[in-house]
Amino acid sequence: MSRRSDLARYLASRLALAPVMLWLIATLVFLLLRVAPGDPIDALLGTRAPEAARAALRAQLGLDLPLADQYGRFLGHLLRGDLGTSLTNGEPVTRIIQASLPASLELGVVALLLAAVAGLAVGFSGIARPEGRIDLAGRLYGISTYALPPFWAAMVVQLVFSVWLGWLPVGGRFPATLMPPEGTGFYLLDSLRAGDWGQLVGSLRHLVLPAATLGLLLSGIFTNALRLNLRRALGSDYVEAARSRGLSERRVVLHHALPNALLPVLTITGITVASLIGGALLIEVTYSWPGIAFRLQEAIAQRDYPVVQGIVVVVAALVVLVTVLVDLLVALLDPRIRF
């Protein structure tokens, strides 16, 4: 009962901090957009528009108000769950996010699964002979994949598999010759539900390169984390005690060292999600993937304040939620954790 109450208090404290974190992020992005070079009016009307037209549009959009009034209006709408409307097309920001978020989630989930499988496999492969060739190759893999610039890696993958070999599409999310599947916006799930294998194959062909590129770049996080924690676990007292009881090395590694080494790896999933968002921005732009990061890049270029603010706040909320869920999952799996 004591542990349950500690867990409840911990969850309450994290959830209480979440609004404060989101407010700080929202305030920061609001101020950065206003002090950064560029003017939304220039993006909408051009720099040669008459001054009267510019002033009228500025008043219509509320950009002529003092900064404090703009900030107060922004926070008031945000507290009511209203993210505003786009300056460029008048579409509600909530609708823009709803339309682009499924593409990003589909790409992110597949990339995260690929990163975990590849990273953990490489991290575990050299444990039989520490400092051996396989272990050193795994270390090099973890460092190099984590250090690769996403934009450069995406262009190299496109050049090899799309331009030279011609195996996969160079960009986009769906073939232009087919109609996108109707449903939730998750093309893989919608194609499976409709039983349309042509749509499913078309979706997979466009998803392979961006997901594999992003997964490769993130897999080094899992490789390095598993290598370090597994080596630490193998040198611990409980592993030595298991060996002294005559257990085989395979059983010692799989049943004693590996479960404890995987718990810290699970903890870094929250960090990986944050890295996923940063890497997805360049990946989506390079592959013309119509996700939320691609839409964010467009909004920044157009100086579309409400869209940028809304996307940043929603993404920050998702990162906070994932981090809290991961912390709770680790706490439930590891009874040694105290709050």
Q: What is the predicted pLDDT for the residue at 114?
A: 93
pLDDT higher at 196 or 13: 196
- Tokens 């940028």 correspond to 308
Q: What is the predicted pLDDT for the residue at 290?
A: 92
Q: What is the predicted pLDDT for the residue at 280?
A: 78
Q: What is the predicted pLDDT for the residue at 235?
A: 78
Q: What is the predicted pLDDT for the residue at 325?
A: 82
Q: What is the predicted pLDDT for the residue at 146?
A: 80
Q: What is the predicted pLDDT for the residue at 179?
A: 84
Q: What is the predicted pLDDT for the residue at 278?
A: 62
Give yes or no for a contact between 186 and 130, defined as CB atoms under 8 angstroms apart. Answer: no
Q: What is the predicted pLDDT for the residue at 335?
A: 66
CA 108 to CA 102: how far, in whole Å? 10
State the DSSP code for 94.
Answer: H
Q: What is the predicted pLDDT for the residue at 337?
A: 63
Residue 158 CA: distances (Å) to CA of 151, 154, 165, 295: 11, 6, 10, 21
Interval 90-108 mean pLDDT: 93
* Ramachandran region, residue 297 (left: φ > 0; alpha: ψ -120 to 50; beta: rest): alpha
Q: Is the pLDDT of residue 189 over 70?
A: yes
Q: Is the pLDDT of residue 2 over 80?
A: no
Interval 128-146 mean pLDDT: 82
Q: 27: which 2 tokens? A: 């305030």
Residue 317 CA: distances (Å) to CA of 18, 76, 91, 274: 8, 18, 22, 11
Q: What is the predicted pLDDT for the residue at 313?
A: 93
- pLDDT tens per residue across span 49-71: 899 999 999 999 998 999 999 99
Name the 3-class secondary structure at 15.
helix
The mean pLDDT of the chain is 86
What are φ and ψ of residue 90, in 5° steps? 70, 10
Give yes or no for a contact between 224 and 141, defined as CB atoms under 8 angstroms apart. Answer: no
Interval 137-142 mean pLDDT: 87
Q: What is the predicted pLDDT for the residue at 136?
A: 86
Q: What is the predicted pLDDT for the residue at 261?
A: 79
Q: State the pLDDT confidence band at 307, using cuts at 50, 70 and 90.
A: very high
User: Among 66-70, 174-178, 304-308, where is mean pLDDT lowest?
Assistant: 174-178
Q: What is the predicted pLDDT for the residue at 24?
A: 95
Nearest to 295 by CA among 73, 82, 91: 91
Q: Is the pLDDT of residue 36 over 90?
A: no
pLDDT higher at 146 or 110: 110
Beta strands (DSSP E) in the chain are none
Q: What is the pTM of this model?
A: 0.88
Q: What is the predicted pLDDT for the residue at 1?
A: 52
Q: State the pLDDT confidence band at 320, using cuts at 50, 70 and 90.
A: confident
Interval 308-336 mean pLDDT: 83
Q: Is the pLDDT of residue 94 over 60?
A: yes
Residue 265 CA: distances (Å) to CA of 46, 141, 229, 260, 262: 50, 17, 8, 9, 5
Q: What is the predicted pLDDT for the residue at 102?
A: 92
- pLDDT tens per residue across span 244-277: 887 777 888 877 788 877 877 777 777 777 667 6
